[in-house]
Amino acid sequence: MADDAAEIYDGARAEFPLTFGKQSKSQTPLEAIHNTTRRNQNLQQQQRQPPPSSADLPSLSSSSSKTWLNSLRTAKTPNPNPNPSDSDATLIGPPRPPQPDSASDDDGDALIGPPPPPGSAESDDDGEMIGPPAPGRSNRDDWDSDAEEENKYRIPVSNEIVLKGHTKVVSALAIDHTGSRVISGSYDYSVRMYDFQGMNAKLQSFRQLEPSEGHQVRTISWSPTGDRFLCVTGSAQAKIYDRDGLTLGEFVKGDMYIRDLKNTKGHITGLTCGQWHPRKKDEILTSSEDGSLRIWDVNNFNTQKQVIKPKLARPGRVPVTTCTWDHEGQRIAGGIGDGSIQVWNIKPGWGSRPDIHVQEAHSDDITGLKFSRDGRILLSRSCDGTLKVWDLRQMKDPLKVFQDLPNNYAQTNVAFSPDEQLFLTGTSIERESTTGGLLCFFDRAKLELVSKVGISATCSVVQCAWHPKLNQIFATSGDKSQGGTHVLYDPTLSERGALVCVARAPRKKSVDDFVANPVIHNPHALPLFRDQPSRKREREKTLKDPVKSHKPDLPMTGPGFGGRVGASKGSLLTQYLMKQGGMIKETWMDEDPREAILKYADVAAKDPKYIAPAYAETQPETVFAKSDSEDEEK
């Protein structure tokens, strides 16, 4: 009897839930939210088309297909449609006719031996079909096999969000080790900080900084503990900030008049790159246009620990365009402006002499270097449009050179996937190109191009990163008028990060948010709130007063007044009267100045005065030059 009552109660609760009688808030399902962030379907359909030959692999943007998503669902995200027949929704052509009795007939047959492998049921169904096979089925099967081979990399590119806010290209990117905060720097001289845990669907930054006024942001790097980050700009001084964006210190600038760079306390020209030590929380590395690399102690901002001067073919100062640590912090690699790559092993008594020196590694500036985790591979990215793979055990020639990767920015980097099976880099747009900014993926084992994912049709891709904990790909892009950070993710493969903020709707405004401004009937009543009186009117009044402004008298026009004669050919009354009576004759305007002086020459010669009598006996005869007008006539 008690069991019957419990069943009745459960049935009633199923019809009337606990929230019965309360107004429930409407919630948007996660599937609809992720559909809004799904990448361009047209672009994906183009990338899903089979390749012309088996050698060319299709794009990995096809990962958004339902078949692949369902196959990648784990126990943590169970498949809402466990029926295998649902996978037929991806078939090309009209749907198959319903067969309600086929399942019962199959259940009646006793299967002997192990169950058939997946896919055999589909082949059996194909065998039961009447008539010729569907057109293009064999080609689609070949492409599906290629797609399955490609999907083994599990690249999360089905969905995308963009962190906006910058007005120029985003040149620096850093994600902390937990994946909760993202920092981006731009050519607009600003740094923006994003927090996935506190950010909603509006994707707005919670803080904006300007490290150095008028200098572009070059590099941002988190500390191993994630409590501080390094900001490198175009100035000669790097800055250290805490996790919340408060300035902790600024490194000293060196004396530019000292010739030897080892005797200066810091860099003397603009910085190019910088990176925090991967293991030590109080040590960083910077490179500069002054031709040196320096290791700093973040606890002492007044001087550096070590100065590294690259080896040069000719004496001089060649800028160091990029620098990096290896995974253990035991080696330093630097890209030199002459196209060479130099590697230093950190050991007792080490100096500026490089352990590995590759001359003319690139024909243009090197923009990015990256060590593999096992310390065997070194990747280099350059403005010459190439990406080279080097074996650190044999650096004479590169293992592979990837061409046709345009690069117009000095901060374009190269990154590894979390398992280091792939490495990726971005490309810049060109004037006559129609491809736009791409994110290119390469296979490390096969040393071949795996996929090209379009990021922006009008902007170049500069920085890229693949976070291991979030399993999300970050790519920065921009041009002269806009910039943003693209976050690529897959709801079935990625965790936290973009999934958290996309699903969080912005808070709706309530009545309490609207505050009416109070009407102040007696402003400036207290001296504390009274504004300083403007002296603009007083200055204008002073300028109009001729006495206070000491303004000179203007010439008179018309009849005179106040004791002054007007327009009367003279400024005094006596002058006017004498001119009218003929007592004053102004003939100097009509006379030649030379003739006016020479008419007194005879008088001066006959009756010399002052100095002339003392030199009368020794003075040579004066010879006057002839008139210039006569010379001109000749």
Query: pLDDT tens for residues 122-157?
Result: 444 444 445 445 544 445 455 455 455 446 778 898
pLDDT at position 344 is 93
pLDDT surpasses 70 at 18: no
pLDDT, mean of residues 411-430: 93
Query: pLDDT tens for residues 184-228?
Result: 999 999 999 999 988 888 889 999 999 999 899 999 999 999 999
- More confident: 570 or 220: 220
Give the separation between CA 483 and CA 479, rounded to whole angstroms: 6
CA distances from 331 to 328, 346, 354, 473, 485 (A): 8, 6, 10, 27, 30
Q: Which two tokens stand for residue 522?
A: 């007696």
List, in order, residues 6 or more apart from 3 with CB less than 8 Å away: none
**Residue-by-residue DSSP string for 25-78:** PP---HHHHHHHTBPPHHHHHHHHSPPSSTTSPPPGGGGGSHHHHHHH--SSS-
Instruction: Name the burial class of residue 161, with classes exposed (0-12), middle (13-18) and buried (19+) by CB atoms within 10 angstroms of its CB.
Output: buried
CA distances from 450 to 425, 435, 520 (A): 12, 17, 68
Are 335 and 365 a contacting pair, CB within 8 Å?
Answer: yes
Q: Which of 492, 499, 496, 495 is nearest to 70 (CA)?
A: 492
pLDDT at position 4 is 65
Mean pLDDT over all residues of the chain? 77
Are 323 and 285 a contacting pair, CB within 8 Å?
Answer: yes
Q: How confident is the model at residue 303 (pLDDT cuts 50, 70, 90)?
A: confident
Are 472 and 488 a contacting pair, CB within 8 Å?
Answer: yes
Q: Give the pairing of strands 159-166 and 483-489.
A: antiparallel
CA distances from 466 to 179, 184, 330, 419, 426 (A): 11, 15, 23, 10, 13
Are 310 and 291 a contacting pair, CB within 8 Å?
Answer: yes
Are 43 and 62 a contacting pair, CB within 8 Å?
Answer: no
Q: How confident is the model at residue 543 (pLDDT cuts 50, 70, 90)?
A: confident
Q: Which two tokens stand for residue 261?
A: 């760079």
Q: What are phi and psi of 76, to 5 degrees?
A: -70, -30
Q: Give the pairing of strands 283-288 and 293-297.
A: antiparallel
Give the separation between CA 330 and CA 344, rounded to whole angstroms: 9
- More confident: 46 or 545: 545
pLDDT surpasses 60 at 556: yes
pLDDT surpasses 70 at 87: no
pLDDT at position 566 is 67
Query: pLDDT tens for residues 498-522?
Result: 888 888 877 777 777 777 777 767 7
Instruction: Name the burial class of residue 113, with classes exposed (0-12), middle (13-18) and buried (19+) by CB atoms within 10 angstroms of its CB.
Output: exposed
Query: pLDDT tens for residues 46-80?
Result: 344 343 333 343 333 334 444 444 444 443 444 43
Q: How confident is the model at residue 292 (pLDDT cuts 50, 70, 90)?
A: very high
- More confident: 567 or 328: 328
> In a 3-state reduction of DSSP, which class is residue 209?
strand
Are 192 and 205 a contacting pair, CB within 8 Å?
Answer: yes
- More confident: 9 or 136: 9
- More confident: 238 or 603: 238
Are 337 and 305 a contacting pair, CB within 8 Å?
Answer: no
Are 381 and 362 a contacting pair, CB within 8 Å?
Answer: no
Give the separation between CA 154 and CA 490, rounded to whole angstroms: 9
pLDDT, mean of residues 571-577: 67
Q: What is the 3-state secondary structure (H, E, C) of 568-619?
A: CCCCCHHHHHHHHHCCCCCCCCCCCHHHHHHCCHHHHHHCCCCCHHHHCCCC
Beta bridge partners of 276: 284
Give the separation between CA 551 and CA 48, rounded to whole angstroms: 83
> In a 3-state reduction of DSSP, which class is residue 141?
helix
Percentage of the chain modeled with pLDDT above 70? 69
For the chain, list the domains and their CATH numbers.
Answer: 159-503 (2.130.10.10)
Residue length of the chain = 634
pLDDT, mean of residues 462-489: 93
In terms of average pLDDT, the best of 101-110, 536-545, 600-609 is: 536-545
- More confident: 523 or 17: 523
CA distances from 526 to 256, 297, 519, 522, 523 (A): 54, 53, 16, 9, 8
Q: What is the pTM of this model?
A: 0.63
